[in-house]
Structure 1
Amino acid sequence: MILRPGTAAPDFALPNQFGQPVSLASFRGMKRVTLVFFPLAFSSTCQGELRELRDNLTLFFESDTELLGVSVDSKHTLRAWAEEQGYGFQLLADFWPHGEVARSYGAFLDDRGYANRATFVIDEQGVIRSSFASAPGEARTIEQYRVALSR
C-alpha cells in the first residue's frame, strides 16, 4: 500500500542520471516535488508515460513543482534513456540499496524487483498532498497529474 496524503514524506538522497546527489530535503521550504516511481527504463509503458510528462512539463513549471522520476535502474541506464528521449527533468537511481526509497513509499514490488507506477505530490513542508498508483502494466494519465497538482 502506497503512502497516503497527510503522511510525512520519507527523506532520501539518490544520484540523478549525472551522478549528482538529489535529496528531498533540498526542496523543503522552496517548492513542491512530484515523485514519479516507474518500473524500468526503456520499457514501453514507462517510456510512454515519461514522454507524456516531458511533453507536459509546463504543468509542473506552472505549479512550481519539481518533477523527479525514480526507478531501480542505474544512473548510467537512466542517463542513456534521458538523452535518447530528451527528458527535461531529473531521473533518480534507486539502484542501491535496491529499491530502498520505493520501499519507504510503499511502492516497491518485492515479487518483481522494481517499483510500481506510483506518484506522490509533496508540499514545501515535506507532507504528501496527493498520491496515486496504477495496476502493473497500466499507464497513469496526465489528467491524474492535473488533479493531483491542484490539491
Structure 2
Amino acid sequence: MAGRPAGSPQEELSLVRAGGQAPAFALSNQHAEIVRRDDLLGAPALLVFFPLVLTPVCEGELEALVARQPAWDAWGARVVGLSVDHRYSLRDAADRLGVGFDLLSDFWPHGDVARAFGCFDHERGHATRQSFVLDAAGRVARVISSSREQPRDAEDYEAALRALTE
C-alpha cells in the first residue's frame, strides 16, 4: 500500500470511503451459496467485516445484529457478515447464534475481499473490525469501525440505515 514503509504490515486504512462504490465480490455463505455484491443492489445493505467468528467480541457483535434483525427487515436492508473463517465455522456460529443472514467466507484466496475494501490486518491474517453501509446503488454511505478489542455499536448501523431509508 502506498505511503506505508516497506516491511510494515500494519492494518490497512479503508480504501473504500463514503461516496465510493463498493468493490465487486463473490463469496460462499455458510450454506455454500454464492453471494455477490450485485445481489445486494436495489436496497440498503450492511457489510460487517469481523476478525474471527469464534471469538467473544465477534460473537457478541453477531448476537447484537441478530437482536436487531426486525429493524433491518423494516428498512428493507440486507445484512451480510464477512470473515476469513471457513464456511463450516461460519455455519456452526450461525446455527448456535440463530443468525438468519448471510455470513460470507473470505477464506480463499485468503482475505481477498477484505483487502479490496482495505480492511485486512496483514500481521494477524484477518479482517479488521470495519463495516460498510451501502445505499441501493452499492455506494458506500458510511464506514463504521472500531479497534480489534472493541465491538461496534449497532446504534451506529441503525442511524446510518435510517438516514438512507427515511
Q: TM-score range, shorter-chain basis?
A: over 0.9
Unaligned runs of 5+ in 2: 1-12
Letter of the aligned partner of 1:107 in structure 2?
C
Cα distance in 1 for residues equivalent to 2:93 and 2:137: 31
Give me the whole-angstrom Cα distance separating, in 1, the residues matched to 2:39 and 2:67: 26
**Which residue identity is paired with 2:81?**
G
Query: What TM-score does the superposition give when structure 2 sets the normalisation length?
Result: 0.87
| 2:25 counterpart residue number | 12
Q: 2:65 aligns with which of 53, 61, 83?
A: 53
TM-score by length of 1: 0.96
- Give the superposition deviation at 1:123: 1.2
Give the corresponding residue for 2:35.
22
Report the Cα distance in structure 1 between the residues aligned to 2:111 and 2:38, rounded to whole angstroms.
19
Unaligned runs of 5+ in 1: none
CA RMSD of aligned residues (A): 0.9
| AA partner of residue 50 (structure 2) | F
> 1:131 touches 1:148 (CA, 8 Å); kept in 2?
no
Residue 131 of structure 1 aligns with an amino acid whose one-letter code is: V
Q: Secondary structure at the match of 1:150?
A: helix
2:87 aligned residue: 75
Letter in 1 for 2:116: S
User: Match for 2:30: what amino acid?
Assistant: Q
Deviation at 1:70, TM superposition (A): 0.3
CA distance in 2, matches of 1:11, 1:62: 26
Classify the secondary structure of the residue corresponding to 1:88. Answer: coil
Aligned-pair identity (%) = 39
Q: Does residue 94 of structure 1 match 2:109?
A: no
TM-superposed deviation, 1:150: 2.5
Partner secondary structure for residue 70 of structure 1: strand
Greater C-alpha Rg: 2
